[in-house]
Amino acid sequence: MKEWWVQVGLLSVPLLAVYLHIPPPKLSPALLSWRSSGGYFNYKDQNIFYRDSTGAVGSSDVVVLLHGFPTSSYDWCKIWEGLTQRFHRVIALDFVGFGFSDKPRPHRYSIFEQASIVEGLVRHLGLRHQRINLLSHDYGDTVAQELLHRSLQPLMLWLLFFLSRPITRLLPCRSELFVSGSGQSSGPTRSLHRQSTGTCGRRCGPMTAISLFLFSILQYINQRKKHRDRWVGALMSTSVPLHLIYGPLDPVNPHPEFLQLYKKVLPMSTVSVLDDHISHYPQLEDPTGFLNAYLNFINSF
């Protein structure tokens, strides 16, 4: 009798072949609408998707939204309208490798590049000399920390940040990965995985190409460890107002350890704690509570 793993392998081959030939799922009407209401700008030959909505009359305030892993700008869909009632401009982008933005292969994805793309979008929109409020989540928190580090330099003093959601992996710099089961961005996320074979796919096979793509994207975890002093130091050194909106059921940043550590490391930051059942995606799980917490912070200045 053959070893069990040989039998499993023989069974897996045809199943994998069938899976790889299944076309990507069609986008939902909501995602199609989200894409059609946005546009693209070019950053070093990469097409980057973004949305830019004009909102409150009489306000000059701008907010830029930075999404997490492994999703897209659609993470902000439930609070978008509420933000437009407070801000003159509400802007969000899909980081390169995510959502409707390009997914180059091979490519060395990095937090530094994503931060430069945000800067590029701000320049593209003519907002370089305007005060920017930044709202970030998960992966986007680290991009925000890099931007905050750069804002300490003379050329970046125009940036003003209001960070919301956990500034993850403070002390120690942990490597856990949590993928939301909400499915809010499952369309573009699954599409980016299924359509990411490219040249490598023809040379070394679709599954290998997908694995290499995901491995490249996930290097942000190692980058967090390597550059911990730079990014945590930026938070500790800044005089910019910081705010945390926290879901106590978050498995990435478990309660109460994370909250205690956050307050110890960043005692100058204010904090909003949502209801006990709110987890890692509070802007989707409790959009009203999240929006109220954020606007209360913004309106306190």
How confident is the model at residue 10, as a pLDDT? 65
**Cis amide bond preceding 251, omega within 30:** no
Helices (H), the chain: 4-20, 29-36, 80-84, 111-124, 139-151, 186-194, 198-204, 206-217, 219-226, 228-237, 257-265, 282-285, 287-298
Quickly state the pLDDT bin for 105 (edges 50, 70, 90). confident
What is the reported pLDDT for 266? 95
Enumerate residues 6+ apart whose C-beta is below 8 A from 254: none
pLDDT on residue 24 = 75
Query: What's the chain's length in residues?
Result: 301
Q: Which residues contact 77 (CB under 8 A, 6 or more apart)?
A: 30, 34, 184
Which of the given ranges, 23-27, 114-118, 163-167, has the highest pLDDT on average? 114-118
230, pLDDT greater than 50: yes
pLDDT in tens, 78-93: 999 999 999 999 999 9
| Average pLDDT score, the chain | 80
Could you tell me the two tokens for 41?
Answer: 């700008």
Instruction: Give the largest CA-CA distance in the chain.
Output: 77
Split at pLDDT 50, 70, 90, the class of 59 is confident
* pLDDT band for position 60 (cuts 50, 70, 90): confident
Residue 208's CB: how many other CB atoms inside 10 A?
13
pLDDT band at 18 (very low <50, low <70, confident <90, very high): low
275 has a pLDDT exceeding 80: yes
Are 61 and 294 in contact by the 8 Å Cβ rule? The answer is no
Structure tokens at 29: 């009407």
* Mean pLDDT in residue range 255-272: 95
N-terminal to C-terminal alpha carbon distance within the chain: 73
pLDDT of 12 reads 65
User: Distance between CA atoms of 188 and 98, rounded to whole angstroms?
Assistant: 8
Model confidence band, residue 223 (pLDDT cutoffs 50, 70, 90)? very high
Model confidence, pTM: 0.78
Assess whether pLDDT exceeds 60 at residue 63: yes
Give 3-state DSSP helix, strand, coil % of the chain, rounded to 5. Answer: 45, 15, 45
Mean pLDDT of 277-297: 97
What is residue 239's predicted lDDT score, i.e. its pLDDT?
A: 86
Cα 278 to chain centroid distance, Å, stands at 18
Tell me which of 231 and 168 has the higher pLDDT: 231
Cα-to-chain-centroid distance, residue 61? 22
- For helices 228-237 and 219-226, the axis angle rounded to 10 degrees is 60
Q: What is the mean pLDDT of residues 155-181?
A: 35
Res 181 pLDDT > 70:
no
Looking at this protein, which amino acid is placed at residue 165? R
Query: Are the beta carbons of 66 and 118 closer than 8 angstroms?
Result: yes
CA pair distance 133, 122, nearest whole angstrom:
12
Measured CA to CA, the distance from residue 244 to residue 239 in angstroms comes to: 15
> How many beta carbons lie within 10 A of that of residue 155, not counting itself?
8
